[in-house]
Chain A
């Protein structure tokens, strides 16, 4: 099975939809379907790996979102499922985040090391 690297750059895209984040959800589905897949979070999307995010409480009129997105938990579940999740280290630092902010199991990678990471994969999908 060829190795796929999903690079996610756009953060909190379509999270009002049931799938939460569209590409992380897709990654879960592809992993379930047998894909050998990894995820690289870059730019604002590094925030996806922050633990303790709470998006609850959204309501318009009488209509409430009772199952809000749980992006951090989704990332953690993905890691537990065997999907390597990488974060660009400089993007983390530029946003004032530290290791203690993240769910367990993430891997930080420096920008300079991205070509090597990309080279380890057969297909690279930049979302």
Chain B
């Protein structure tokens, strides 16, 4: 059941480069699981988290094929978060910073996120119960 609480979270890290992305996804997942709405402002390298062209690869060190690995890319995880939000009947509003997208050529993303800007982050924060920023250090 939805709690009517809303969390806004700003993230900056590019995929895989630090545990910040993992922490952010964990927090978003936990909030959705508890029935909270979540607004995400993907800023800077974080706009790459949802790129449609991400593809897994085999692991030659382990000697495993891509099928054996079944390794999720970040876009798979974000897609699952949207599915989780739908299942929980809560809202996940994922905004990719448009200017950051343009500078990275990252405009082709999976279904779910939308293009926006800093004002979306401000509006979301002002309408939320809590805001968390997880910056690149």
Binding site for B on A (CB under 8 A): 1-2, 4, 9-10, 13-14, 17-19, 22-23, 26, 29-30, 33-35, 123, 125-127
Contact = CB atoms under 8 A, between A and B. Distances in A.
B119 A125 contact: no
Contacts of B12: 22
A1 B103 contact: no
Interface of B: 10, 12, 43-44, 99, 103, 117-119, 121-122, 125-126, 131, 133, 135-137
A33 B122 contact: yes
Contact of B121 (A19, A30, A126): A30
A67 B8 CA distance: 33
Contact of A18 (B103, B118, B119, B135): B103
Contacts of A14: 44, 136
Contact of A29 (B119, B131, B135): B119
B136 A10 contact: yes
Contacts of A18: 99, 103
A35 B135 CA distance: 20
Nearest to A6: B133
A10 B135 contact: yes
A29 to B, nearest CB: 4
B115 to A, nearest CB: 15
B118 A17 contact: no
Contacts of B121: 26, 30
A127 B126 contact: no
Contacts of A1: 126
Contact of A2 (B119, B126, B133): B126
B136 A26 contact: no
B70 to A, nearest CB: 33
A125 B10 contact: yes
A83 to B, nearest CB: 14
A126 B126 CA distance: 17
Contacts of B99: 18-19
A1 to B, nearest CB: 7
B118 A26 contact: yes
Contact of B119 (A13, A17, A33): A33
B131 A123 contact: yes
19 contacts: A1-B126, A9-B137, A10-B135, A13-B136, A17-B103, A18-B99, A18-B103, A19-B99, A22-B12, A22-B43, A26-B43, A29-B118, A30-B119, A33-B118, A33-B122, A34-B122, A123-B131, A125-B133, A126-B135
